[in-house]
Chain A
Amino acid sequence: MTRAPALTMSDLRKTYANGVVALKGIDLTVAQGDFFALLGRNGAGKSTVIGILCSLVNKTAGKVTVFDADIDHDFARAKSYLGVVPQEFNFSIFETPWQIVCNQAGYYGIGRAQAKRRAEKYLTQLGLWDKRNDITRALSGGMKRRLLIARALMHEPRLLILDEPTAGVDIEIRKSMWEYLTRINQSGVTIILTTHYLEEAESLCRHVAIIDRGELVENTATGELLEKLQMETYILDLAAPLAELPPDLRGRPGWRLKDSATLEVDMHKGGNVNQVFAELALRNITARGMRNKTNRLERLFLDMVNEGKA
């Protein structure tokens, strides 16, 4: 049986009114039941993607479907499948958690009695039950984040989208949020979250896409991404031109002849470089020099890690 993906985007583009090109054609598919991370530096375009999904931002071009609903033709249905946890707090500071979650249910057409039952369930699960009648202005940052999650779950969405849910949350609460989200995912809800912590993607998500300057630069299983990050590529300048690699090196994983004078070899970080020279010497190939290939992915991660510290 084939199931419609939870989310597809094709050639999604956004240019803001001030001329900023935030998305340059994003293609992405998220399978039902997946736990998916959208990773990227500040300003990469993550929130823009999410804004388009939940109708806070008009797309400039492209097509988006949420399960069986195309957002251009059946936006109301698409929205009813989606729960959104925004990056910024966006509830009234004069209302109470109880009012906020009950009203949110009402906006999805859920009757008052059922709304109250769910409000009790989700406020309790997120540790906000004791605070239900306090105005939100009086809540701590971590509580406000959890309120955003409770609010997004009130209509029991099939796809939960969280925009940097753990930004600015201390490590203990972050861990408990991770556990909670894992349970929600296990109950069958597809989850997409944006983050600039690799660690978060690593511990939670099965798939990771990386967005940089409005473009998707990677889209893979988390394990493979980590594997790639463990690899290093060396560029060797050959003394004499080589038409092709000797037969026994041709099929070797990680070895590529870029042109007649340049050989590239992928190796695990910390691997033995001498091995490469030994292999070459054995076949009478001389390398005049060797350098590291700059790894775009790695540089991105370094930037993200630095941002995370800042």
Chain B
Amino acid sequence: MKLIFERSRPGHGCDMLPANDVPTLQPAAEYTRQTAPNLPEITEGEISRHYSELERNSRGVNNGFYPLGSCTMKYNPKINDEMAALPGFAELHPLQPPHTVQGALQVMQMAEELLDEITGMDCMTFQPAAGAHGEYTGIAMIKAYHKKRGEGKTRTKMLVPDAAHGTNPASAAMNGYTVVTIPSAPDGGVDVEALRAAAGADTAGLMLTNPNTLGLFEKNICEITQIVHDAGGLNYYDGANLNAIMGIVRPGDMGFDVIHLNLHKTFSTPHGGGGPGSGAVGCKTILAPFLPRPVVAQEGGTLVLSNDIPDSIGKVRSFYGNFLITLRALCYVLTLGQQGIPAAATGAVLNANYLMRKLATPAEIAYNRTCMHEFVLSMKTLKKETGVSALDLAKGLLDYGIHPPTMYFPLIVEEALMFEPTETESIETLAEAAEAFRALVALAHQNPEALHSAPHSTPVRRPDEVGAARNPVLKYDFAR
């Protein structure tokens, strides 16, 4: 594929603006740039073709099954995008007077109310722009809480299970916490005794993902949160996996003080090829004084954005977050409603268990229990027997038009493949995927080479990642 810069021809371009209707002025030379940027010179038709080609060489949920674990690649309803594009939302300046944005503030307030009820929390901020940003924010709130109580200097440790996503320890460390890794027990849950031993007067809190990244519900969840509370710490819930349990059980009822949601996973706002998302953070009343500024508040009969939060952690980004993503999530919750929310969770868990059982014979289930919305296979025996790795199998799936599962995560499972089918897939799709997987395992035994070199039908095959990192070429070289 050509780069857009390689399609550029001097003199090509689009005509977007009328002539200047005031006298054209030019800043003095000391203020101006010395060389013009090399931007493409290209006509609109050429732009259209270029991006159509890039689109054909991309993969979205619209193209086929996308069981990428921990990412909840469910169908993204179109009404949500259309509502987000309404001029009365998309054309609002963030600093308009409050009486001109009552509808927008209602969107935020309504989304907060509904998501508070779903999570069992008391308040919510939509300022964080993604899950990791929500983690950073929630942990900063925990830190502010301890500081306010005079324990900021003594509570220096954040407990994080070894199965946690990499963003958890990274977000804790950004807040200056020492990360204490809690091992998993043989059943895949948190090792409760290890947790008990680790929790103490220096514990700031625990970051728990539930269902955990093995796709398992923490059976001892209430005991776990109690241990942390007894030690004076707070419980953080990584809500990336909320799709399994929304409408079934609420983190706020299980002893969690703060949670982030990935609205771009559970609440079907599209991923956009890597964002924009929203990492809405919900919390209990005890943490409300520390929420980022501003919050939506009622003043007389109108809604306002209030900065009157003296103990707020401050701001974690500009304005009020990815508002149009919040709005999409609101549309989704309104659509599914009281019955639809738990039905989606049930559907996701049923699909995952069905697919897991279908794959149980050709592969090994890492932890053989009823799973939640996702499950992890270990390909270590296959690798020992045939030399075919989890990566090889994943690449093989590409030849069947299936997006591979998440690979080599969580780190505690050897040769891990993590599947999350989501509720928006049919039994037929799941059965076809299982068939493809079976065929690939059979192929691994017959002709491992065919899988070492897979995929065979994609536009490119097995890019040299080592070379890319060793000799970084991170932009187009106009001189070549």
A and B are partners in one complex rather than unrelated chains: no
- Give the B-binding residues of A (Cβ under 8 A): none
